Amino acid sequence: MNDIKFDFNNMMSFNVGGRDGVTEYDLRRLMPRVNKCHRHFRRLSENPASRVRLSLEWLMLPFQDKKTVEEIQRLGDEIGRQYENVLSLGIGGSYLGLKSAQEALCAPYYNEFLQLRQKRSRIYFEGNNLDPTPLAVLLRQLDPKKTFVTVISKSGETTETKAVFDVVEEWLKAGVGAHYGRQIIAITDPKSGTLRKKVLEEQAKDPSNFRSLPLLPGVGGRFSEFNMGLLHLAIVGVDIAEVFSGAQAMARRCSLEDIFKNPAYMYASLHHLAHLRKGKSIAIMMPFSEGLKSTADWYCQLLAESIGKKYPRRIKALGDSGEAWEADTRRPVHAGRTPVATRGTTDLHSIQQNNVEGPNDKAVTMIRIASFADDVTVPADKGFLSQKRFSELLALAQEATAWALTSAKRPNCTITLSQLSPWTWGGLLYFFEMATAFEGELLNVNAFDQPGVESYKNYMYYKLRKPDIPEKIAQEIEKHPVKSDVRFIL
Ligand SMILES: O=P(O)(O)OC[C@H]1O[C@](O)(CO)[C@@H](O)[C@@H]1O
């Protein structure tokens, strides 16, 4: 059985009370807005030009052409079987989806045991931080001749990925010699950016150098796992067609107008109401599965970058029956909910205290797996735990967490995956993508840009004297120096 269920009973007032819970009446009152957003979103998603212009092309990713997917599957398979190690460089949307896929769909301790990884490459994620220690240690240990490098960056400009790639490229060159470029694949924008430029230059020297795969136009980083992440799925031996089949099934459920039939619209509507009417501004993501830890991290980027916006969206109609969006800077709204990634049962012994007794400003999403591929049983004669299966204990812990939250009037909901498989994981990702995009619609913000991330980048570029920094940015930085008074440093 391959199934995904969304249980939101504990978001409702009949379980957590009228002050903190949503009523059916609230949901029905929101329906005209939901229907309007649905029609708007649908109109845009049916228009190919709008999809690309507004970064909605992620909607189509699970429906990609079979031949392309098969080619990627073959290529990844070849790399995974040939190389002892794969260094996967990327950050944000060019990293989190890959990591979450690996944790969810490969055996735990994948890197440690050859048999568990079916004799495929060990995977090392780098380029997602500027901390020098892991990189320095790793490069001292790895044999460049046995290492393949995937560098993933839509822009090709991201400092973390670029700096690490610059180092890794030289390391590979020194260790492998003239043909080092055959051990690199770049996944980047098909036309623009410095990484694409580098690919073209290197391929002109030798066509088997710096192979590359395109990031499809109209796909933003955090919505790109079914594009940027495909090669990685293939390297670690995951069946991409299964992931897509699960995502397609979810896409069909999420295309329905009725929120009582569309789980993503319901998720978005409930959290929208819980936030704006009941003050639940913190989104706690709590999978009861080690395999879904990084999926919770992936969700944090998705929610934070998509919904956390200073300005609402101003829509401009265009001639092709499409539209363009811009920030309406006259009216700051500071929209968004703050995501926090936790995990059951580990964080029941830390963050859960605050969830139950701290400020009642959270909505908790639990994810549970109904059936595990492996199980462990406590031996007999061990008191009250005797002969209990771990899966049983875990399910009970999740039930107990829901009870503890609900009885303390803390709204919570549970997503149940029949099992953790490529099919359910594909469906789960699509569900969250649609729920987040739709929450953006309800809030009327652009869920597909991330202007707030630029300010730290600009400051760094300015200090690093990156060429072509706009004068306006330089002035802005000069105008706002951060004061440092020694009295306030102990
Ligand atoms: O793929 P790129 O261009 O290196 O960007 C990486 C990440 O950086 C951001 O642009 C900002 O953090 C993310 O949205 C994106 O996922």
Domain locations along the chain: 4-46+241-443, 58-238, 454-488
Residues of the chain scoring pLDDT < 50: 1
Annotation says 457 is catalytic: yes
Write down the catalytic residue from 334, 349, 479, 483: 349
Residue type, 463: K
Residue 320 is predicted with a pLDDT of 74
Question: What is this model's ipTM?
Answer: 0.97
Answer yes or no: is the C-beta of 188 below 6 A from any ligand 1 atom: no
Spatial separation of the C-alpha atoms in residues 146 and 175, rounded to whole Å: 10
Rg (CA), the chain: 24
Residue 238 is predicted with a pLDDT of 98
User: In sequence order, what DSSP letters do the residues of 221-254 get, joined into one string?
Assistant: GGG-HHHHTHHHHHHTT--HHHHHHHHHHHHHHT
CATH number assigned to the domain covering 58-238: 3.40.50.10490
- Pairing assessment for the beta strands 211-214 and 184-188 based on DSSP bridges: parallel
Spatial separation of the C-alpha atoms in residues 410 and 11, rounded to whole Å: 8
CB atoms within 10 A of CB 232: 28
Annotation says 40 is catalytic: no
Closest Cα to atom 13 of ligand 1: 92
**In 3D, which of 11, 430, 444, 455 has the Cα closest to residue 225?**
430
Residue 2 is predicted with a pLDDT of 59
Q: Which token pair is 406?
A: 């609900």
Q: From the CA of 188, give the closest atom in ligand 1.
A: 1
Contact between 114 and 80 under an 8 Å Cβ cutoff? The reply is: no
Spatial separation of the C-alpha atoms in residues 64 and 69, rounded to whole Å: 7
Residue that is written with structure tokens 């995009």 in the block: 437
Adjacent-strand bridge partners of 148: 86
CATH fold match for the domains 4-46+241-443 and 58-238? yes
Answer yes or no: is the C-beta of 128 below 6 A from any ligand 1 atom: no
Residue 321 is predicted with a pLDDT of 77
Contact between 283 and 339 under an 8 Å Cβ cutoff? The reply is: yes
Q: From the CA of 155, give the closest atom in ligand 1.
A: 3
Contact between 247 and 62 under an 8 Å Cβ cutoff? The reply is: yes
Adjacent-strand bridge partners of 323: 317
CATH superfamily ID and name for 4-46+241-443: Glucose-6-phosphate isomerase like protein; domain 1 (3.40.50.10490)
Residue type, 155: S
Residue 104 is predicted with a pLDDT of 98
Contact between 299 and 286 under an 8 Å Cβ cutoff? The reply is: no
Answer yes or no: is the C-beta of 224 below 6 A from any ligand 1 atom: no
Spatial separation of the C-alpha atoms in residues 428 and 418, rounded to whole Å: 11
- Pairing assessment for the beta strands 313-317 and 282-287 based on DSSP bridges: unpaired
Answer yes or no: is the C-beta of 92 below 6 A from any ligand 1 atom: yes
Give the CA distances from residue 304 to residues 103, 207, 255, 307, 321, in Å, rounded to whole numbers and listed in that order.
22, 40, 24, 6, 30
Spatial separation of the C-alpha atoms in residues 6 and 365, rounded to whole Å: 10
Chain-centroid distance of CA 283 in Å reads 15
Top mutation candidate among 58, 154, 219, 309 for ligand 1, by most atoms within 8 Å of CB: 154
Q: Which token pair is 180?
A: 């080092």
Closest Cα to atom 9 of ligand 1: 92
Annotation says 349 is catalytic: yes
User: In sequence order, what DSSP letters do the residues of 357-404 get, joined into one string?
Assistant: HS-S-EEEEEEEEEE-SS--BPPSSSGGGTT-BHHHHHHHHHHHHHHH
Give the CA distances from residue 33 to residues 261, 276, 431, 444, in Å, rounded to whole numbers and listed in that order.
16, 14, 20, 11
Write down the catalytic residue from 169, 225, 305, 433: 305
Q: Which token pair is 174?
A: 């020194």
Spatial separation of the C-alpha atoms in residues 133 and 126, rounded to whole Å: 11
Give the CA distances from residue 10 to residues 17, 278, 372, 399, in Å, rounded to whole numbers and listed in that order.
10, 14, 25, 12
Taking the centre of ligand 1 as the mean of its atom positions, its distance from the CA of residue 331, in whole angstroms, is 26
Spatial separation of the C-alpha atoms in residues 348 and 399, rounded to whole Å: 12
Q: Which token pair is 74?
A: 């073959």
CB atoms within 10 A of CB 377: 13
Helix 422-443 to helix 24-45 angle, to the nearest 10 degrees? 100
Q: From the CA of 92, give the closest atom in ligand 1.
A: 16
- With H, G, I as helix, E, B as strand and everything else as coil, classify residue 30: helix
Adjacent-strand bridge partners of 19: none
Top mutation candidate among 96, 130, 298, 450 for ligand 1, by most atoms within 8 Å of CB: 450
